[in-house]
Structure 1
């Protein structure tokens, strides 16, 4: 649990007890009692179900984010462990099918990860000068999964500097040698560097850049004594991804994480509503003591949340909604919690659209879902390649796992750094080949291997141009050849 100091700023820790349901003979409906506001409140089972649905949609991204953070920054026995909090871990390689913690991983750019514990004091990033044409970014992600800001080629340039990330309680003065101060809504956050890799031979240059990324607590950056030590967080056991999808324990994991999320003014009434079923910062719901009727209502609420997600996913597959709609600041999302859930469920930590866009392929040109038993092509007409200031890629994912695909070429994507290797069409266009079996040696340069079964693909446009942002450029269709 969080320290006693932490409880001074978090949403009040309600001492909630969910009682077994009783029957009101006059109203003919089951009720639930809650001490959330200091007096008993009767809730119908329909209300419990509705609130559970809302709380689940709201909380799923937070719980899943905490699951990843626990693996990356807390559990040293986890194969995906990176480094302790406030310590950069450079990964001098790209994702492969062996990486299974994050859905739809990016294999374009080697990553550097850092978990940010901002409770005691700010963290200062020192960034080196990076050559003009190499793309880099530092994506800053709060506990809600909002991308609350960026450093990088697009936003701050490649000239280097000192950038301070401060938590919501920090009230200190900004040192003179700080280039920019960025505030985070939550006490716990994470950040990920992406550094462009041109080819295998370029890896040594990427490693050199990664080794110059520095993160220090403000006191260490200033050469002063360490800020007063804050108590380590005692973490609740994270759920597996499958458990997150259906277990009532998800609400307790949400309650744990909410301790590090001071209530936003726009969500005060929402938190009061959630508290009626025991969802509140630091609270523990005794799920074993709940009546069967209450348990069913809450489970039904979770199922209702996934039903809403499925409807949104259909719109996504039809192109009526973009994956980019789920990533961004709180202001951009406008508290659209279902979009935020969509983003976390399909590919947590995606970029804000100004940083990268994600045109996706879930169906072919005839509206059929994609399967490796068929052959497909994507053709870019001359002068109609993805419009970007940096680079673009197309990555293959098997379904339903949304993970990279093992194949004989160890090729998980095609991207614009491979343009010199691609074979162009007679008119100067470019045709990419999507299928499970090799199209033959003479065509393998344009081949993206698919699995034998269901799959999807995501195109990434890094630092997209206005033509992409305003929708005047459209991704070409995926055409089935059989």
Structure 2
């Protein structure tokens, strides 16, 4: 006991001489701070990136499309495409050559906005509205019946959160859970002289705030796009490229700002807790944790997950497409993020199917220097209530510069069947003597097979598009 006391006494004065008597209590065993675990930060950054990606992308797309520059339009203002292929500031990749599109970004903060559609007299029309989380809140697909034979005259009021009031008679109310929304109207066109009839139908579309609807005021219409506007988009980068370039601070700041007016859909407390853990709250400055390596790693993981096809994508013979869950995602955030990235503005399973393919039946990259045949058996033709088409694009989603204006092959433009009811499409950058020649870019390419107003078997897995065979 005495020996122990002397050792402690000696230690006491040694410490005192080095650090002063006031630090005696902590001198004998100074604690060492162990590094705090950061694995949870990496995981929650990645999960939150996937969760918030659709809203940040939609905000970037809105900002690119809204304005007074050529190819843009103010909020609550229709912008009509005037040509095929379309030209403008906010064109998505792989533009459709089957429809002439009208679009508008809505601000429902002050009052509802009413979309009035004319009778299309049997012509195929696909109109839809997406909230800012890319869920389809309304579309015309439910009205088309067993065959997509056009739409009747109708008016739809898009109503933002919290609005109370009465709507005019015969105006259908659609409640939108976000302040902003994206409306598109696609009108089937055969190009050439048919464009005059389509433009007339476009002029019959009306988009006005509720306060102007009763006065019969005409909707504001922005002019169509031009080459200069397309060049401006190329210089600034597509919305997807802009989002991919954001660092963690930029991405989550944009997400926090967007959630103030456009709350998450669905309202997911678990996802909001993850964001709050990271210092991301709606409408507030973002305060990310002091763990740069974990945040950088989580951001990289989130980006990779967004561009990776989820396992519930349908895939047959090299083609891949969305099944029954598209357009109304619920808590399937991986599917929602990938759909927003891969096919911006995609509708529901009843609106449209876009199957894409980049490899031939041997697993080699498609290239326009080769010749390919797509053979549809009589019972294998795309199942549609409307119509279908195939278009060839570059790997980046652009149309070939040297190809003729009409690049699509499909049943609406006279695709020729064989005697047994089957159908062959020949894909090549060199003109061939074939009934159904599909011009292709002189480079690596991708094919997009579009089904307008698809039948249920197109999305439930019972239909299979054929392989693309190199000759």
TMscore range, shorter length: 0.7 to 0.9
Shift of the alpha carbon at 1:56?
A: 0.9
Q: Is the 8 A contact 2:60 2:243 kept in 1?
A: no
**Paired residue for 1:84, among 61, 65, 74?**
74
Shift of the alpha carbon at 1:361?
A: 1.8
Give unmatched runs, 5+ long, in structure 1. Answer: 1-24, 31-43, 226-236
Q: Which residue is 1:170 aligned to?
A: 163
Q: Which residue is 1:360 aligned to?
A: 356
| Partners of 1:305 and 1:322 in 2: CA distance | 22
Q: Does 1:139 align with 2:137?
A: no
Q: Which residue is 1:304 aligned to?
A: 301
Q: Does 1:130 align with 2:120?
A: yes
Q: Does 1:244 align with 2:237?
A: no
CA RMSD of aligned residues (A): 3.0
Q: Which residue is 1:14 aligned to?
A: none
| Partners of 2:92 and 2:463 in 1: CA distance | 29
Count of residue pairs the alignment pairs up: 416
Shift of the alpha carbon at 1:354?
A: 0.8
Corresponding residue SS for 1:338:
helix
Corresponding residue SS for 1:407:
coil
* Higher Cα radius of gyration: 2
Shift of the alpha carbon at 1:382?
A: 3.2
Distance 1:283 1:106, change over 3 A: farther
Corresponding residue SS for 1:102:
coil
Q: Is the 8 A contact 1:324 1:352 kept in 2?
A: no
| Partners of 1:281 and 1:207 in 2: CA distance | 42
Shift of the alpha carbon at 1:224?
A: 11
TM-score by length of 2: 0.80
Distance 1:105 1:391, change over 3 A: same
Q: Which residue is 1:379 aligned to?
A: 375
| Partners of 1:27 and 1:374 in 2: CA distance | 64
| Partners of 1:276 and 1:353 in 2: CA distance | 36
Q: Which residue is 1:29 aligned to?
A: 35
Q: Which residue is 1:192 aligned to?
A: 184
Q: Is the 8 A contact 1:378 1:432 kept in 2?
A: yes
Corresponding residue SS for 1:89:
strand
Q: Which residue is 1:411 aligned to?
A: 406
| Partners of 1:264 and 1:424 in 2: CA distance | 45
Q: Which residue is 1:4 aligned to?
A: none
Q: Which residue is 1:15 aligned to?
A: none
Shift of the alpha carbon at 1:475?
A: 0.9
| Partners of 2:300 and 2:34 in 1: CA distance | 25
TM-score by length of 1: 0.78
Tell which deviates more after alignment, 183-192 or 253-262: 253-262
Corresponding residue SS for 2:161:
coil
Shift of the alpha carbon at 1:99?
A: 6.8
| Partners of 2:273 and 2:197 in 1: CA distance | 52
Shift of the alpha carbon at 1:315?
A: 7.6
Q: Does 1:275 align with 2:276?
A: yes
Give unmatched runs, 5+ long, in structure 2. Answer: 1-30, 218-235
Corresponding residue SS for 1:169:
coil
